[in-house]
Amino acid sequence: MKYCDKCHVDVQTNQKYCPLCHQVLQGDNDETWIELYPKFIPLRREVLPLTKKIILFITIVAIAVLLAINLTAWEGKLWSLIPIGSILYVFMIVRYGVLSRQNIAFKLALLTTALILILNMIDQQFTEPEARGWAINYVTPLALLSCNVAISAIIWIRRINFRDYIFYLLTIMVFSLVPIILCLFNIVTVVWPSLAAFGLAIFILLIIVFFFPKSIKDEIKKRFHF
């Protein structure tokens, strides 16, 4: 116990100064005394934020360079959108797929959705008219189908966690309905991939409804309460 004769207080410490007035305290250090608070260790620079910064920096510089080249040597097409889209996608994979600690169903759902959007953009903008439609006909339904299979498989294998994943599974299922609706409006011309995606989505939905009715009800209640 030390004493500050300016503030007239006892101070429980082995430190030299009074916390209130910063005068030197009176009294000797007590060797048996254990400090009440841990010693401060200054923040070490963590690797992860630095990696993030470097990746972000490279991404932005690359995008700027591509745009600049594209615009200075203008040939009537914004071709730089293809590499920019790919770079952004790689950025998303690293940022949300690798570095993020979100659950894997979220990662799969997000990355699949982003991939579909980018490929459809490329398809619409840069494919010759006669070959157009590959993204919406084949890629979209089949990507949704594989995503559905992947999330279901993860739920199947790691049963304990299904409550966290079911929401993302439902989202992808709702997306799976989109190609089949587009089929009705003749925007999608090849029917079988859309039908397969739709069929699988309905199949999984029925399994959940029949075998885990409570979990799906709970999840909807939780996510949409207001």
Partner 1 sequence: MEHIRIANDWYRLDNAAKIFPAISTKKETNTFRVRVDLVDTIDMALLQQAVNLVLERYPMFKVRLKSGLFWNYLDYNERPFIVLPLPQRVCGSLSPKEHNGYLFQIYYWKKSIVLEMFHSLADGSGAFALIKSLVYEYLLLKGLKITPDNLILTRDSLPTVEEYEDSNLTYYDPHNHKHVPEKRAFLIKGTPISDGNIGLISATIATKDMMDLARANEASVTEYLTALMLYTIYITHIQYREHLKENKKPVKIFVPVNLRKQFPSKSLRNFTNFVKSGMVMNRSDISFDEILAETKKQFAYGLQKSELIRKMSENVSFEKNIFLRATPYFLKKFVLKIGYNMMGLLLNTLSFSNLGKIDFPESMQPHIDKISVGVYSGRFNTVNFGVVTYKDQFSMTFTRSIVETTIEREFFRHFTSKGIHMTLESNYVEEYR
* CA distance linking residue 161 with residue 97, whole number of Å: 19
When asked if residue 106 is in the footprint of partner 1 (CB under 8 A), the reply is: no
What distance in Å separates the CA atoms of residue 224 and residue 226, rounded to the nearest whole number?
6
CB of 23 to partner 1, least distance (A): 11
Q: Which range of residues in 29-37, 79-87, 109-117, 151-159 is near partner 1 by CB under 8 A?
A: 29-37
DSSP letter assigned to residue 161: G
* 18 within 8 A of 3, measured Cβ to Cβ: no
Number of amino acids touching partner 1 (CB under 8 A)? 34
| Coil/strand/helix, residue 5 | coil
Q: Is 20 in the site for partner 1 (CB under 8 A)?
A: yes
Nearer to partner 1, 41 or 73 (CB): 41
Query: For residue 207, what are its two tokens?
Result: 């399994």
CB 59 within 8 A of CB 87: yes
Binder of partner 1 out of 28, 31, 43, 74 (CB under 8 A): 43
Question: Rounded distance, CA 140 to CA 136, Å?
Answer: 5
Per rule CB under 8 A, is residue 49 in the interface with partner 1? no
With contact defined as beta carbons under 8 Å apart, do 82 and 58 qualify? no
157 lines the binding site for partner 1 (CB under 8 A): no
Q: How far is the CB of 130 from partner 1 (least distance, A)?
A: 42
7 lines the binding site for partner 1 (CB under 8 A): yes
CB of 1 to partner 1, least distance (A): 8
What's the token pair of residue 172?
């992808």
Cα three-residue angle 100-97-85, rounded to 5 degrees: 125
Using rule CB under 8 A, residue 81 touches partner 1? no
Q: Which is nearer to partner 1, 1 or 69 (CB)?
A: 1
Should residue 226 be labelled a site residue for partner 1 when binding is judged by CB under 8 A? yes
Out of 37, 74, 185, 210, the only residue in the binding site for partner 1 (CB under 8 A) is: 37
Our finding on whether 11 is near partner 1 (CB under 8 A) is yes
CB 121 within 8 A of CB 93: no
Name the DSSP letter for residue 7.
T
Residues that bind partner 1 (CB under 8 A): 1, 4, 7-13, 15, 17-21, 34, 36-43, 101, 160-161, 163, 218, 222-226
